[in-house]
Amino acid sequence: AQKVTQAQTEISVVEKEDVTLDCVYETRDTTYYLFWYKQPPSGELVFLIRRNSFDEQNEISGRYSWNFQKSTSSFNFTITASQVVDSAVYFCALISNRDDKIIFGKGTRLHILP
């Protein structure tokens, strides 16, 4: 069975603090892809990043960074120097070769307090 777990339902941090959103996945497939999406209050899901299972290199994009570790089946997302505009719901997701559907975690609601 495939599954994505985001254990943190809701997180609040003060602006400028760093925050890490956890994502743990389960899949029997050796080839799969992981994603992160952001859902701001406007409602649209915005694609942030895709990683394939053969590429464990960490990725950095501005204040955002992602840590992919196959050994722990985790794909964590860190926001450095958080800003109020980062307040949103963040979803981790998985798709594998065996299943053609994207499986989403339940999301983490992030509040950045001014």
What does the binding site for other proteins look like in residue numbers (CB under 8 A)? 31-33, 35, 37, 39, 42-47, 50, 89, 91, 95-97, 100-102, 104, 106-107, 109
Q: Please, what is the minimum distance in Å from the beta carbon of residue 4 to other proteins?
A: 11
Q: Please, what is the minimum distance in Å from the beta carbon of residue 11 to other proteins?
A: 13
Cβ neighbors of 12 (< 8 A, separation 6 or more) are 110, 111, 112, 113
CA atoms within 13 A on the CB side of 102: 13
Is 46 or 81 the residue whose CB approaches other proteins more closely? 46
**Separation of alpha carbons 107 and 37, rounded Å:** 9
